Amino acid sequence: QVQLVQSGAEVKKPGASVKVSCKASGYTFTTYFMHWVRQAPGQGLEWMGVIDPSVGSTTYAQKLQGRVTMTRETSTSTLYMELSSLRSEDTAVYYCARGTPPDYWGQGTLVTVSS
Amino acid sequence: DIQMTQSPSSLSASVGDRVTITCRASQGIRNDLGWYQQKPGKAPKRLIYAASSLQSGVPSRFSGSGSGTEFTLTISSLQPEDFAAYYCLHHNSYPLTFGGGTKVEI
């Protein structure tokens, strides 16, 4: 069965970076694009960007350009989302989600940015 | 960028009620739209894709309709487990955008 297992919760200080992982299993890793979506506490869903695992090409949301980097490691079927220059507004649950429109989602990773 | 305007932002309903949620796209997106249900502390769950196709395993009381700029999610007879937040998502072009969400409450 398809599974997307994300890394654990993180607490970071403003200005730091965070790297969240998403390990995929149960399907051919390179067949589906992977999106990253975040949700601030009590807020709606925000699309962050997408990566094509077959070639590594990416498209990012304009507001995150320059701060977000999505990568993949095909040998381990793992995707990564790194967000730099963290600010308090980046406090959110971060999800990886497979396919377009996404069908399977990871369990979410809470990233807390606090001094 | 394509904006998705979802309404209402919240609604109160009773078990057995028929519920309708609407999303309007700022420009035509064909049928490139999905609907999601999210319960507190959980990841979103896809209910509908391609505007009107029911995701496998989702009860038939959920249905989607529309094309172009106007889309609707209907729950024909609300059940206790349906109290949740619902979001539309367009995937016609990048950036993808979600509607603002609808919270369905008792």
Contacts of A70 in chain B (CB under 8 A): none
- Put simply, the answer to whether B43 touches A35 (Cβ < 8 Å) is no
Instruction: Please give, rounded to a whole number of angstroms, the shortest distance from the CA of A105 to a CA of chain B.
Output: 6
* Per-residue CA distances from A92 to A103, B42, B47 (Å): 21, 13, 24
User: Once rounded to an integer, what is the mean pLDDT over residues A82-108?
Assistant: 97
Instruction: Please give, rounded to a whole number of angstroms, the shortest distance from the CA of A60 to a CA of chain B.
Output: 8
Concatenating the DSSP letter of every residue in B76-96 gives: SS--GGG-SEEEEEE-SSSSP
What pLDDT is attached to residue A37? Answer: 98
Share of chain A above pLDDT 70, in %: 100
- Put simply, the answer to whether A47 touches B98 (Cβ < 8 Å) is yes
Q: Which of B49, B87, B95 is facing A44, going by the closest CB pair?
A: B87
Please report, in tens digits, the pLDDT of each residue of chain B (106 residues total).
999 999 999 999 999 999 999 999 999 999 999 999 999 999 999 999 999 999 999 999 999 999 999 999 999 999 999 999 999 999 999 999 999 999 999 8
Beta-carbon count within 10 A of B17 CB: 14
For residue range A1-44, list pLDDT tens digits in order. 999 999 999 999 999 999 999 999 999 999 999 999 999 999 99
Torsions phi, psi for A45 (to 5 deg): -90, 140
What pLDDT is attached to residue B106? Answer: 81
Q: Which of B36, B91, B98 is facing A100, going by the closest CB pair?
A: B91
- What is the dihedral angle through the alpha carbons of A109, A110, B1, B2, rounded to the nearest 10 degrees? 80
- Put simply, the answer to whether A101 touches B49 (Cβ < 8 Å) is yes
Binning pLDDT at 50, 70 and 90, where does residue A95 land?
Answer: very high
- Put simply, the answer to whether B46 touches A101 (Cβ < 8 Å) is yes
Beta-carbon count within 10 A of B104 CB: 20
